[in-house]
Every structure is written in structure tokens, then in C-alpha cells.
Amino acid sequence: MTVCVAMNGFGRIGRNILRAIMGNGRQDIQVVAVNDLGSVEINTHLLHSKRSIRKM
């Protein structure tokens, strides 16, 4: 049975959760929606970027 998940927010934690879901190869979890204020292009770039903490 597949569990459908919708994410509200795509900040650091949301991106890490999506990476974990995609990275472990589980077929029983399906992300069907992501609600965020950013554009698709920006969120795609942030998802593929491994850098989450910047130097001050």
C-alpha cells in the first residue's frame, strides 16, 4: 500500500525529508505535492544543492 504525502513548506527540514524519501529507494511513499512560496526553479536548485549551512 502506497502512502501519499503532501509537504507544507520546503525549507531545510522539508528538503532533507524529501532527499531521505528519494534516497532510500522506498516504493511505498509517494510525495504528491509541495506547498512553498518559492518558485519551482528555486526549489529545484535548492533540492539539488547539498549545501544547507552557509559560512558567516
Q: List, for residues 14-53, the tens digit of each pLDDT value.
A: 998 998 998 988 889 999 999 999 999 999 998 888 765 5
**Residue 8 contacts by C-beta under 8 Å, 6 or more apart in sequence?**
35
Tell me the pTM: 0.75
Helix ranges (DSSP H) in 1-56: 12-23, 40-48
Q: How far apart are CA 3 and CA 41, in angstroms?
A: 26
Tell me the torsion sign for CA atoms 31, 4, 23, 18.
positive
φ, ψ of residue 38 to 5 degrees: the values are -75, 160
